[in-house]
Amino acid sequence: MNVIPAAEQPLRSLWKRHRVYRRRFILAVTMSTINKVADVVPELLIGAAVDVVVRGDASFVGEILGVESRYSQLGWLAAINVVVWIIESASQYVADVLWRGLAQGVEHDLRVEAYDHAQHLDMSWHESRPSGSTLATLNDDVNQLERFLDIGAPAIIQTFLNVVLVGAVFALSSWTLLLFAFTPIPVIVVGSLVFQRRLEPLYDRVREAVSDLSSALSANLAGIATIKAFTAEDRERDRIAAVSTAYRTANTDAIRSSAAFVPLVRMAILAGFTCTLLLGGWAVLRGDLEVGLYSVLVFMTQRLLWPLTDVATVLDLYQRGRASTQRILTLLAVPITVPAGTTVLAKPVQGRIELRGVRAGYADGPDVIHDLDLVVPAGETHAIVGTTGAGKSTLLRLVLRFDDPRAGTIELDGTDIRDLDWDSLRGSMAYVAQDVYMFAGTIADNIAYGRPDATRAEIEAAAEAAAARDFIDATADGFDSWVGERGVTLSGGQRQRLALARALLREPSVLVLDEATSAVDNETEAAIQRSLRVATAGCTALVVAHRLSTVRHAHRIWVLDAGRVAESGTHDDLIAADGAYAALWRVQTGELALDEPSA
C-alpha cells in the first residue's frame, strides 16, 4: 500500500538521520571489539597450556616469561586467564548496556518524531487510511527496529570481529589452514546476499499484513457496540481470523525461506571444520605443526564457524528491521500539504471571516462546496443551516483550515488563512465538533484541555456557561470525576456540554460550533442558548445547527443547498422571503408543537 520513497537503504537513512547516536554507536562497537578480543584469548591460553605440558622448558610461555618451572608457567596462564575473563565480563556488560540504550534511544526518538509528524499531517491523510495502520507503524514497526538494534546489530559486529580475529590467528599459524577453514565464509556471504534479495519482498508483505491486522482489530474494538447490537460476533471473528491467517501465511513464507538458509550455512561449516581437523592433524603427524597450535586451531574453527549458524537469525532480524524502518521513513516522508503560514495576527484577533469564491471537495471526489461567498463580521453570530450533506461541516473545516479550498480564499481579519501561523488561526478559535472527543482524565482536565493553565474557578465558570454544572455536581467526585476513554462514562448530551465548556474556557475570538447541542434536551438547550448569548457577546460565532430554534437569534442565517448559498438573512427576513428556510421552519415548529404535550 505504501509507496517506498527513496532508493536508499532504509537503515543507512537511519544512520544519517540519527547523528546524535553515532558516538554511542562507536563506543558500543569499541566495547564489543574489546569483548570479542578478550573472548578469543582463553582459547589461545588453552593452546599455550597444552604447549607447556608437552614441551616444558622450551614452551612458548616459558620463553616469553623467562619462567622455567612448568607449574609456575601454568600458574601464570591461570592468572592471565582470570584477568582476561574479568575484562571479558566487564566489557560484555558495558556493551550490552550501550547497545540496549542505543536501541531504546533510537526507538524512542523515532516513535516521538513519527507520531509528531503524523499529528501534523492533514486531516485528509488521516481520513484516507485506517488509524490502525498508522498505529502499527508507530508501535509495531518501531519495536521491530528496536529488536534489530538490540540483538541483530551487535550480533553482526560480533560475527564480523570473530572472523577477523580468528582469521588473524589462523594467518599467523598456517596459511593453508586459513584457506580451508575459511572456505565457508564466501559461501555464507554470497548465500546471505541471495537470501536477502529473496526475503525482502516477503518481509515487506509481513509488515503489510501486520498493518492490516492492526487496522481490523482497532476498527472492530471501536465498533464493538455495533457488533454486539447486530450479533455479528461470529462474522467478525471469521473476518479477523481471515486477516490473521494472511499474517500467519506471510510470516510462515518468510520464516520458511529464511530457515532454508540454515542448512546451507551448516554444510559450509562442516566442510571448513573437517578441513581443519584433517589437514591440521596430518600437519602435526608430519611434524609441520605444534600440537598446542593444532588444538588452538581446532577450537578456533569451532569458535569461528558455529556462531555463523546465527547468521540466518540475524538476517531475519535485519529483514524485519529493514522493512519496518522503510515503513517508518515512508510515514516521515509524507509531505504536509496544509503547512502553517508565518503571518502573526495582532492579539486580540477581531474575528472577521470572509470566504470568497470558495470551491472545495475531498480527495479526488467532486466539489462539495461551489463558488461560495460568505462574510461574518467580527463579533456577530452566524448560522449555517441546510439539508444533510449540504456541506455545512465542510465549510467549518475550511475555516479551521483542516483542508485548503480547491479555489478561492478564506480570510481571518483580512489575512488569507494560508498565510497565518497556527497560533493566530486555530489559537484564536474554539471548535466543538459533531462527534465530541473526550480524553481519559477528569472532567476538569477535559474542560481545561484547550487552556491547561486555567484556574479551577475559570473551569467552573465555563461549566456553568455550558449548563454542565448540575450534572457535574451530581457525579460522585464532581470536577474530579474520571471520564473514561472517549468519554464513554458520559451521555451524549453530557459530553457535548463538556465540549462546549472546553471551547468557552478558551475565550476564543471565533467560536465554531458544529451541531454542538444536538444531543441535549430542549430545556438544557434553552439554558445553553441563554449562556451562549452572553458568552459569545464579544466573539464571532459560526454555528451549524439542524434545530432551527437554536439559531433564530443569529445575526445572519446562511442556508446551504448542495454546496451553494440558497438564501441568507435574519430569521425574520428568511421567514418573510418564504423560501427553503421558511419551509424548514414550518416543518420543525409543527413537529415541536406535536412533541410539546409529552415534554
Ligand X SMILES: Nc1ncnc2c1ncn2[C@@H]1O[C@H](COP(=O)(O)OP(=O)(O)OP(=O)(O)O)[C@@H](O)[C@H]1O
257 part of the interface to ligand X, by CB under 6 A: no
473 part of the interface to ligand X, by CB under 6 A: no
394 part of the interface to ligand X, by CB under 6 A: yes
Identify each DSSP E strand in 400-509 by its residue range. Answer: 407-412, 415-416, 429-432, 441-442, 482-483
Binding mask 324-363 for ligand X (x = CB under 6 A): --------------------------------------x-
DSSP-H helix ranges across 260-310: 261-285, 291-305
Q: Are strands 415-416 and 407-412 parallel, antiparallel or unpaired?
A: antiparallel
Q: Closer to ligand X by CB, 37 or 121: give it.
A: 121
Stretch that binds ligand X, among 79-87, 216-224, 325-333, 386-394 (CB under 6 A): 386-394
Tell me, by CB under 6 A, how many residues bind ligand X: 12
Cβ of residue 143: shortest distance to ligand X, in angstroms?
31
Q: Quick one: which of 127, 233, 480, 573 contacts ligand X (CB under 6 A)?
A: 127
Closest CA to 383 of 500, 519, 562, 553: 553
- Find the radius of gyration of the CA atoms of the chain: 36
Closest CA to 55 of 281, 292, 297, 299: 292
Q: Closer to ligand X by CB, 351 or 386: give it.
A: 386
401 part of the interface to ligand X, by CB under 6 A: no
Q: Closer to ligand X by CB, 45 or 390: give it.
A: 390
Q: Closer to ligand X by CB, 18 or 546: give it.
A: 546
Centroid of chain to Cα 490: 29
Centroid of chain to Cα 377: 42
Stretch that binds ligand X, among 94-102, 162-170, 390-398, 418-426 (CB under 6 A): 390-398
Could you count the other beta carbons within 10 Å of the beta carbon of residue 143? 14
Q: Closer to ligand X by CB, 85 or 362: give it.
A: 362
393 part of the interface to ligand X, by CB under 6 A: yes
Cβ of residue 544: shortest distance to ligand X, in angstroms?
6
Q: Closer to ligand X by CB, 280 or 391: give it.
A: 391
Closest CA to 1 of 144, 138, 130: 130
Q: Closer to ligand X by CB, 462 or 560: give it.
A: 560
368 part of the interface to ligand X, by CB under 6 A: yes
Q: Quick one: which of 390, 505, 513, 557 contacts ligand X (CB under 6 A)?
A: 390
Q: Closer to ligand X by CB, 132 or 563: give it.
A: 563
All cell numbers assigned to 211: 498493518
Q: Closer to ligand X by CB, 137 or 394: give it.
A: 394
- Quick one: how many helices (H) and strands (E) in the chain? 24, 12
* Residues 70 and 52 sit within 8 Å (Cβ to Cβ): yes
Alpha-carbon gap, residue 56 to 44, rounded angstroms? 17
Q: Quick one: which of 186, 389, 484, 492 contacts ligand X (CB under 6 A)?
A: 389
- 3-class SS of residue 337: coil
DSSP string spanning 56-94?
A: GGGSHHHHHHT---HHHHHHHHHHHHHHHHHHHHHHHHH
Output the CA–CA distances (angstroms, integers) from residue 580 to 239, 560, 586, in the order listed: 46, 10, 10
Q: Quick one: which of 388, 596, 597, 598 contacts ligand X (CB under 6 A)?
A: 388
Stretch that binds ligand X, among 72-80, 348-356, 383-391, 462-470 (CB under 6 A): 383-391
Q: Quick one: which of 47, 152, 191, 391 contacts ligand X (CB under 6 A)?
A: 391
The residue ranges that bind ligand X (CB under 6 A) are 127, 362, 365, 368, 386, 388-394
